[in-house]
Chain A
């Protein structure tokens, strides 16, 4: 027994040790330890970020070198401060202050001493730099914008935050990443891949050579240049037209789904978010909670579509066979819902499909809508059919375009009304507003444009997208090449398109004609409300217009949504016709109209609900619109 005691102790100790060692070296071991090894430092080599061009190879975003003067306080030796300060263009006090700041941060690590020197200052400084021990110049690359528009499309880059670091192990603190728009969507392509060198350190943090002689080191991979589908000229022109107005414009090439322009008003100059003033500018934009310049209205603003939505109801009715183009409905300067009369501005009389569209008759479409519901035994059944047809135009759902944000909009379903009114306690007259694009339906400008493109294509659309080429080669993404078919047969589109062409010839948009171009369009005037001190107040109608041109072989489909612009042709129609002319002809013949649209602003309208006084809406006289807001305030 006693003889065995010591032997068993030896064996037990051996087993304990091996158990502990296998826990440490087998179970706790993870192979990527090289990443957390304190003895290995990684030094990165950053590639240049890819350039962004428009569809016609016009530069939109490039890079500019910037030079930061860096300092390592501990290594600073005596120097000619006077000369150094004059080279840098700073005074002695600033020199002392910056040096103290850097020393407080860390005497051993580099800090930025003077950020972003101009190229001229850099040239002067470069040759003298070796005299100033402890100072050196670090080259950086900043985004440079060759346009002052398309900020919402291009997006901006900024330093990665905690969330990005947790999500993607590629990034480390202090690196840049695309934050919105194309910069975010195509971050991986534009960024390239940083190169890395592994350096062996000792416990004093001193470099003692390359780790494993550099076999793990990688070279940086250049970021690729991309072309986006935006037409720079059209985009810039649209933004000028949008001056002083709120809303969105989206133009799509129907044959491909390429987004020609995507304008949100108000917007900002993308170069505001680069360089020394970046954070100041960003705060200013971010905290503008009234105009919301950072809110991309072209893809995020959900609103009632108004009368352009009537075309879809007409298509559903034709597809379901409840009417044919010659079916007539009487308009009594309005129509009745129960005993309540709803107005119509078409002038009254018998309406068929063609005059219903071009005169935008509410009574006609209310009748059409009822006929769809009367076809089915139950409203539930009818609602399902209606919803299926409408959604096939890309409404009420994400379109699947390649931009990082978006909204679904809303196409109400039977479940929606069941929750609202109670099970089976509603009928077509409860939801009749949907017949004229008011009520519960909501869409974004890009959905409106896509719907228009589907009509222009006579029944199908291509997923709208923003990427055209990568590294000079056309992209081939199946989802963007395959047509998405609507549930409406091709033959039903012709009468609708005829109606839309007549809108332009003799209907609500007859004043916008462009010499030599056939346009099919539809105006919309959208009632809207806001809350002032929790009282529901009606504001001036939104001005909406959708169109495509030329009618045969369409090259552009466009939606314009101008908040509080009053009736459809007043702002939206005019702007749309100018955009179409600019895109198809390259120049504007109607210069008076152009001048008026460029100059007129709606700031007067937008100020109304904020003034705290009574105000009139839908004023026919628009002389006020030409005056800048400051003048209005002094009255």
Chain B
């Protein structure tokens, strides 16, 4: 009875976007892992065969997720959060290292990545905490606690090392902003990023000069009556300049060489064109190859299974983090634009869904889902097309990988279940 009603009330548009993305993703995984000798698409010895199995598993799990009571997720969110934190801690003792990162539990038939579970659990826990009647986000203490929920998993994950996943947790702060955290926190963070980047590019002296010019401009344009808080202003300036100075220190002494290289490449800090080209082809090899592959696709692409760079495996991690370059090479601008538009539509649809929720918990969880999907999509595609530095993070629904797909599916469909349930909630 309830199953049927769920099917009626579920947002089929979102489901459509989801199915399309998973389907297009699989087509491209098939293309990038395909070889002439493969006998059938159901051959589970091949990567695309395995992925097909994961997709079917995910579809099956959707049924379970939808069948569970909606308030189950709210009720057990704290427990889930504690379990996932314990699992993250456990990695320090029992973790399996793959490709330099200790992020997995070896379950024999399956490698479990608890950070994926932690992302969903943190989104739930944060929603639960913020929607609690006793929580007031205007209070400093509650702000701090909300940030702690995000920070704990992030801090546990950074040493794995997995900076990509750590970033995902920070993205959850969007939820807190949506729920009333003053926007100037975001402004401060944004300013910090700008100072960081400009200091690397132009040096502290130029940053200071620009700040000085801005203050002069500010004094020229301000209304006469306006009383300038001299003390706060000078403090802000001093802090900014100190921050700028620290950037150089951190960049040169705390960062590892590979991080410096990635930033150097991204911001084009190397001025000699010959050397820059050299760096692009060595340190920036992945990005260079994926950019070239995408570029070679042109407007219409080379066609399904015709991507020469894909077939030659020139782009590393082609079927996982760099799957988007296959789209670019084989389907051209038509394909890449379609995928970008699909993701944008999905995310916008989710914003719409989140805003129409009746309960605070559902809305906040919805925002959590959007934040997580958005940061993955933004960083992954940004990296593959060369506008962001290299940070290893999968493309949701697209990249090869069982736990990833299961996790994103669960993340999304828990929200769809909550959404389907929103009218019942009041009764």
**A residues near B, CB below 8 A?**
2-3, 5-7, 9-11, 13-14, 16-18, 20-22, 24-26, 28-29, 31, 33, 37-40, 200-203, 208-209, 211-212
Query: Contact at B295–A208, with CB atoms within 8 Å?
Result: no
Q: How far is the CA of A22 from the CA of B313 in the complex (A)?
A: 24
Q: How far is the CA of A20 from the CA of B183 in the complex (A)?
A: 29
In the complex, chain B residues whose CB is within 8 Å of the CB of A20? 385-387
In the complex, chain B residues whose CB is within 8 Å of the CB of A38? 309, 312, 314
The 7 closest A-B pairs by CB, nearest first: A39-B312, A14-B344, A39-B308, A25-B333, A29-B298, A202-B312, A10-B347
Tell whether B411 is near chain A: CB-to-CB under 8 Å.
no
Query: Contact at B370–A6, with CB atoms within 8 Å?
Result: yes
| Interchain CB contact (< 8 A) of B309 among A9, A13, A31, A37 | A37
Query: Contact at B381–A25, with CB atoms within 8 Å?
Result: no
In the complex, chain A residues whose CB is within 8 Å of the CB of B177? 2, 5
Q: How far is the CA of A589 from the CA of B351 in the complex (A)?
A: 110
> Contacts A10-B374, A14-B344, A20-B387 known; A25 to B311 CB distance under 8 Å?
no
Looking at the assembled complex, report how far the CB atom of A198 sits from the nearest CB atom of chain B, in whole angstroms: 9
Q: How far is the CA of A159 from the CA of B306 in the complex (A)?
A: 36
| Interchain CB contact (< 8 A) of B178 among A6, A29, A37, A211 | A6
Tell whether B382 is near chain A: CB-to-CB under 8 Å.
yes
Interface of A: prevailing SS: helix
In the complex, chain A residues whose CB is within 8 Å of the CB of B347? 10
Given contacts A14-B341, A21-B333, 11 further A-B contacts (CB under 8 A): A6-B374, A10-B351, A11-B348, A18-B341, A21-B294, A21-B336, A21-B340, A21-B385, A25-B294, A25-B299, A203-B313
Q: How far is the CA of A632 from the CA of B341 in the complex (A)?
A: 93
Q: How far is the CA of A13 from the CA of B344 in the complex (A)?
A: 8
| Interchain CB contact (< 8 A) of B381 among A17, A40, A208 | A17
Query: Contact at B381–A7, with CB atoms within 8 Å?
Result: no
In the complex, chain A residues whose CB is within 8 Å of the CB of B309? 37-39
Residue of A nearest to B308 (CB): A39
Q: For chain B residues 269-316, which have a beta carbon within 8 Å of chain A?
A: 291, 294-299, 306, 308-309, 311-314
Q: How far is the CA of A21 from the CA of B341 in the complex (A)?
A: 12
In the complex, chain B residues whose CB is within 8 Å of the CB of A6? 174, 178, 351, 367, 370-371, 374
Query: Contact at B385–A24, with CB atoms within 8 Å?
Result: yes
In the complex, chain A residues whose CB is within 8 Å of the CB of B370? 6
Q: How far is the CA of A16 from the CA of B378 in the complex (A)?
A: 10
In the complex, chain A residues whose CB is within 8 Å of the CB of B291? 24
> Contacts A2-B183, A208-B311 known; A24 to B337 CB distance under 8 Å?
no
In the complex, chain A residues whose CB is within 8 Å of the CB of B344? 10-11, 13-14
Query: Contact at B295–A7, with CB atoms within 8 Å?
Result: no
In the complex, chain B residues whose CB is within 8 Å of the CB of A21? 294, 328, 333, 336-337, 340, 385
Q: How far is the CA of A13 from the CA of B308 in the complex (A)?
A: 29
**B residues near A, CB below 8 A?**
36, 174, 177-178, 183, 291, 294-299, 306, 308-309, 311-314, 328, 332-333, 336-337, 340-341, 343-344, 347-348, 351, 355, 367, 370-371, 374, 377-378, 381-382, 385-387
In the complex, chain A residues whose CB is within 8 Å of the CB of B377? 13
Could you list some 8 contacts between A and B, CB below 8 A? Answer: A6-B178, A7-B348, A13-B377, A20-B387, A21-B294, A29-B298, A200-B312, A209-B36
Query: Contact at A18–B340, with CB atoms within 8 Å?
Result: yes
Query: Contact at A28–B295, with CB atoms within 8 Å?
Result: yes
In the complex, chain A residues whose CB is within 8 Å of the CB of B351? 6-7, 10
> Contacts A6-B370, A203-B312 known; A14 to B340 CB distance under 8 Å?
yes
Query: Contact at A14–B343, with CB atoms within 8 Å?
Result: yes
In the complex, chain A residues whose CB is within 8 Å of the CB of B343? 14
| Interchain CB contact (< 8 A) of A2 among B178, B296, B333, B378 | B178
Q: How far is the CA of A31 from the CA of B355 in the complex (A)?
A: 46
Residue of A nearest to B332 (CB): A25
| Interchain CB contact (< 8 A) of A203 among B296, B314, B336 | B314
Q: How far is the CA of A37 from the CA of B296 in the complex (A)?
A: 8
> Contacts A7-B348, A11-B344 known; A39 to B311 CB distance under 8 Å?
yes
| Interchain CB contact (< 8 A) of A212 among B178, B306, B355 | B306
Looking at the assembled complex, report how far the CB atom of B425 sits from the nearest CB atom of chain A, in whole angstroms: 21
Residue of A nearest to B340 (CB): A17
> Contacts A10-B374, A21-B336 known; A31 to B298 CB distance under 8 Å?
yes
Among B299, B308, B371, B377, which residue has the most Cβ atoms of chain A within 10 A? Answer: B308
Q: How far is the CA of A24 from the CA of B311 in the complex (A)?
A: 20
Looking at the assembled complex, report how far the CB atom of A627 sits from the nearest CB atom of chain B, in whole angstroms: 63
Looking at the assembled complex, report how far the CB atom of B324 sits from the nearest CB atom of chain A, in whole angstroms: 10
In the complex, chain A residues whose CB is within 8 Å of the CB of B314? 38-39, 203
